[in-house]
Amino acid sequence: MVVGPEVAAEFAALGLSDHVLLRTGRRPTIDLAGAVEALLVQCGVPHGQIDRADLCTLELEREFFSYRPLLFQWLLFGVLNKILDGRNRKLFKT
């Protein structure tokens, strides 16, 4: 998951820097599932009692709802609406 530098810093402050990938010229990425698993183990939950499903809500949109594909569509339609609205106002100005 791509995050801002402030989120990456908070992960590091919590001792979860092993789950943060810093890349030159790009935003940091975190392994959220790995971080949660590490926190559970720190709290005393045995590894054998932790189930981890590495499923992506974006890729498996039929199984899980994800707003991410819709967000792109909303942004695209919003931009197009503003462009077209501006053109219509110029065309139909009286």
Q: What pTM did the predictor assign?
A: 0.58
44 and 69: one domain? no
Q: How much is the pLDDT for 62?
A: 78
The Cα–Cα gap between 15 and 39 comes to: 9
| pLDDT, averaged across the chain | 81
Domain assignment of residue 84, given as a range:
56-94
37 and 7: one domain? yes
46 and 66: one domain? no
Residue range 8-49, pLDDT digits in tens? 999 999 899 999 999 889 999 999 889 999 999 989 999 999
18 and 4: one domain? yes
Rounding to the nearest 10 degrees, give the CA dihedral for residues 51, 56, 61, 62: -30
